[in-house]
Amino acid sequence: MSAELTDIDSDSEAVKFALGCIWAAFVIAGQGDLDDLPGQGRPLQNITEGWRRNPRTIGLTCGLSSVALGIAYLTVAGAPFRYIVVNFFAAVIGVGCLVATNKGANRSRRMTPGIFFGLASFLLGATIFGVAADGASRWLRVGSMTLQPSLILVPAMVVAFSQRRSVIATVSIILVACALALQPDRAMAGVLAGGMSFLAVKVRDRLATAAAGFSMASFGVALYRPDSLPAVPYVDRILFTAFDLSLAAGCAVVVGAGLLMLPGLLMRTADHEALNAYRIHALVWLAIVAAATIGSYPTPLVGYGGSAIVGYFLSLALLPTPLASAAFAGSAATNTKEEHREDNPPIDSVRGRLVAVCVGAFGIRTNHRLATRGS
Amino acid sequence: MARDRSLSLHAWTLLEFLAEMSGEWGYGYEIIRFSGLQSGTLYPLLIRLEAKGLLQAKWQPPISPGRPPRHAYRLTAAGRALVRNNEAAQRRSPRRLDPVPV
C-alpha cells in the first residue's frame, strides 16, 4: 500500500487512499479465516498473519498512524514547525523503546517490583520538585523541553500491574496515586482509578482491590482540588477546535485519537491475564482521550506533546504476546516466586535498557537541538 | 454453472475488472482508479481472493530508481474460468419481459 501511495500525484487522492488503507489494515486483522491459510511463500499473508498475532505490531501501526494524522493536523492548523519536529522525534524515541524491548515472540511483558518502585518514586519526586504552573505541578523540564512524566509512565505502569501484582508493585501504584492527587492531575488520576477499578473487578485479588481503592481516593482528591489551567493551543481541546479549521482536520484528529484504543480491543486470546492487559490498555487510552474531550488536558498523539507519544509506545511494549501468555495460562499473577526466567526474562534486561537509553538519549539530544534552533 | 454466491458484489467487480485486463498485471491504485473500488475495500478483497486461488500476486520491480517495488495482481486460470462461467450463467438467466401495452 505504501508503495502505491508514492505514485499518487494528487494530495487529496493520496490522503483518501491512505485513510482507506488504514481501514483495510484493520479489516485484514479481523479476517479470521486467514488462520487456515498456509503462510509460506505468500508474503502478503505472512505480514498480515504476524501483524494479527502481535499486539505491538498493531499498536505500532495505530500509533504511527495517529502521529501522522496529528502532524497533518498541526500542519494545517499552522502550528510552529518545532512542534511537528518534537512529535516526530518523540515517535522515533517511542518506537525505539518498543523495538528494543521486542525480543522474540515468546516473551511476556513484566515490570519488576524494583522498576515499579523506582518509577513511582520518580513520579512523586517530579511532583514535588518539578515545574508548577497555575497551581498544578505536573511537569519536568529537560533542557528547553517540558515533559509530563505521568503521561509517559502511568499507562505503562497500569498495563504492567495488570499482569503482575506484588506488594511492592501495589505500594508503587499507591505512591503514583498520591502523586497524581498532589499535582493535581484529574485526567491521569481518573485514568489510574479507571484502570485499577477494571482490574479489581476482573481479577478480584486483595492487591488489585487495594490499588483500586487508593486510586479512587486519589481521583476524588484531584477532583476536589481546583484545576484552573487554561487550554493550550495545539495541545488541549483539539478534538473540538480542529473542526473549526475544516471537517477533514477534525476527522483526522478524531480518527487519530480513536486508533489508540484499537490494539487493546482487536486482540483476542483465551488467556485471561493477557486479555485483561489488552482491555486495560484500551481503557487507559480511552480515558485519556475522554479527559482531553471533557477538560483542558493534552489530546494524546494527535496534539502537540511528546510525552503522550512516548507513553503510548511504552505501554505497548508492556503488552503480552498471546503465544507466551497461553503457555502460562493459569499461573498466578501474584506469585512472585515463580519466575519463568528462561523463556521470559524481565523487561529490565541489561541490553534492552542500554538500547532504550541510547535511543532515548539520541532522541532527546536531537530534539533539544531542533527545539532551540526553532525558538 | 450457477453464480458463486459466496462472493460479494465488490469481489465480482474486481474479478470482472481483472478479466478485462486480459492477463495483464494490475496494481492496487490502478484497480482503484478504474474499477471504482476504494482502497479500504480492495486490499482485503485481494488477500481473500488470492487465498481462494482466484488471483495471483507478484512483487514487481520499481519503474524508476528510488521507488519501492509494488505488488501486482492478475487472475489465475481458476479466476478466469469463474468469471467466464458467471457471464455464461447471466446470459442463460430468463429475462423478464415488459408487459405488452394494449
pLDDT tens by residue, A163-202: 889 999 999 999 999 999 999 899 999 999 999 999 999 9
Does residue A20 sit at the B interface (CB-CB below 8 Å)?
A: yes
B100 is a domain residue: no
Q: How many CA atoms lie within 13 A of A173 on its CB side?
A: 35
φ, ψ at A230 (rounded to 5°): -75, 160
For the cut 60, the answer to whether the pLDDT of residue A349 exceeds it is no
Instruction: Enter the C-alpha cell of residue A46.
Output: 505472512
B3 is a domain residue: no
Domain region containing A231: 57-374
Chain-wide mean pLDDT for chain B? 79
Q: What per-residue confidence (pLDDT) applies to A48?
A: 52
Question: Which of A2, A28, A43 lies nearest to residue B44, judging by beta carbons?
Answer: A28
Q: What per-residue confidence (pLDDT) applies to A195?
A: 95
- Selected residue of A4, A13, A52 to mutate for chain B interface (largest B Cβ count, 10 A): A4
Distance CA A163, CA A150 (A): 20
CB-based burial label for A355 (10 Å; 0-12, 13-18, 19+)? middle
Ranked by mean pLDDT, which of A25-39, A174-188, A343-357, B20-34 comes out on top? A174-188
Reported ipTM: 0.76
Residues A17 and A156 in one domain: no
Residues A68 and A46 in one domain: no
CATH number of B52's domain: 1.10.10.10
Amino acid letter, A84:
I
Chain-wide mean pLDDT for chain A? 79
- Total-model pTM: 0.62
Instruction: Enter the C-alpha cell of residue A276.
Output: 485483561
CB-based burial label for A40 (10 Å; 0-12, 13-18, 19+)? exposed
Higher pLDDT, A334 or A148: A148
Domain region containing B25: 9-92
Count structural domains, chain A: 2
For the cut 50, the answer to whether the pLDDT of residue A366 exceeds it is no
Q: What per-residue confidence (pLDDT) applies to A353?
A: 47
Contacts (Cβ under 8 Å, ≥6 apart) of A11: none
For the cut 80, the answer to whether the pLDDT of residue B81 exceeds it is yes
Count structural domains, chain B: 1
Cβ–Cβ under 8 Å, residues A169 and A161: yes
- Selected residue of A17, A19, A42 to mutate for chain B interface (largest B Cβ count, 10 A): A17
Provide the strand spans (E) within chain A. 131-133, 136-142, 145-147
Q: In this structure, what DSSP letter does residue A261 have?
A: T
Residues A44 and A83 in one domain: no
- Flag if A23 and B47 touch (Cβ within 8 Å): no
| A21 neighbourhood in chain B, CB within 8 Å | 39-40, 43
